[in-house]
Amino acid sequence: MTAALIDGRARAASLRAAVADQVAGFTARAGRAPGLAVVLVGEDPASSVYVRAKGKATAEAGMRGLEHRLPADTPEADLLALVDRLNADPSVDGILVQLPLPPHIDASRVTTRIDPDKDVDGFHPVNAGRLATGLPGFVPCTPLGCLMLLRGVRGHLSGLEAVVVGRSSIVGKPMAQLLIAESCTVTVAHSRTRDLADHLRRADIVVAAVGRPNMIRGEWLKPGATVIDVGINRTGTGLVGDVDFASAAQVAGAITPVPGGVGPMTIACLLRNTLMSAARREGVAIDLSLS
Ligand code: NAP
């Protein structure tokens, strides 16, 4: 292996420590802790694990976590009414409805019901629009975590060629927006891209967010590229990413492992967004460097 390993666990731990430090200062000044409400509908096992992890991380950061677990057959109207109550609750700074939702619920109706100024997931169209137009707002946690890892490896990203593989609203599109804002030259690839390898050969930065195990091969990469693997795929041999780690690590300059790369950054960025929300809502100054 020639690539340096990008240690997402260590980077996430230092971000969480910085957030906890700022939370203590916020709580002393505002007279209350930042509050994050997490809503889970149904009992999807992966979602339950994520919600538990978010609750634990919230408490460890000194924040108030409010967990709302609703049965799988909860009517959409009841979920929307809960979102309305959380929107109106002054002690709630962040609202997160865990996806996926059961099929009888329209996820986009729920996402757009969340007050954009409490939308710490950054999925509301208002926040997507703010990101696209360079206005301050909430940035989705996973791409934000990827950007932090990239800055940690490469420093300034200006002028670099970046290929984002995947165009979802949760990862690929906001990732591309963040890289454009960093003055990268950005290509977004997807399932209809004709020759992915041809694009990847030019890329100084590759962000893979596809959901197909080991799809991106080392031979396709530019030597020295920085590779961020967002994919989480459960296989018979355990969790693997979208990048074929064994071959990519022979060519890349730096690469994230799966697990232990992007995953831990997502929760750390959720805590960061919640603190930012609380600080904005209470008019308390905080100092959270992004780099
Ligand atoms: P998604 O909504 O399913 O989007 C996948 C994207 O990949 C789509 O844009 C799709 O193209 C594209 N794609 C599919 N096959 C392709 C191919 N052969 N070549 C190029 N592009 C292809 O997935 P997502 O929500 O963005 O998540 C992607 C992966 O990241 C999943 O493994 C997920 O579990 C993981 N994830 C991890 C975290 C974390 O915290 N680490 C967070 C979120 C997601 P089309 O648009 O043309 O269909």
Phi, psi of 66 (to 5 degrees): -120, 115
**Do you find a cis peptide bond into 71, omega within 30 degrees of 0?**
no
Q: Which entry of 93, 119, 121, 229 is annotated as an active-site residue?
A: 121
Walk across the sheet containing 94-97 and list its strands.
Answer: 64-70, 35-41, 94-97
Model pLDDT for residues 198-243, shown as the tens digit of each residue:
999 999 999 999 999 999 999 999 999 999 999 999 999 899 999 9
Closest CA to 274 of 19, 17, 6, 89: 19
47 pocket-lining for ligand 1 (C-beta < 6 Å): no
- Banded pLDDT at 289 (limits 50, 70, 90): low
Model pLDDT for residues 78-104, shown as the tens digit of each residue:
999 999 999 999 999 999 999 999 999
Model pLDDT for residues 134-150, shown as the tens digit of each residue:
999 999 999 999 999 99
Q: Which entry of 22, 98, 177, 244 is annotated as an active-site residue?
A: 98
- Banded pLDDT at 287 (limits 50, 70, 90): confident
168 pocket-lining for ligand 1 (C-beta < 6 Å): yes
Closest CA to 6 of 244, 245, 273: 245
Residues 6+ apart with CB under 8 A from 235: 213
Q: Is 198 a catalytic residue?
A: no
How much is the pLDDT for 290? 45
Q: Which entry of 22, 54, 119, 222 is annotated as an active-site residue?
A: 54
Q: Is 173 a catalytic residue?
A: no
How many whole angstroms separate alpha carbon 47 and alpha carbon 88? 26
Q: Is 121 a catalytic residue?
A: yes
- Banded pLDDT at 106 (limits 50, 70, 90): very high
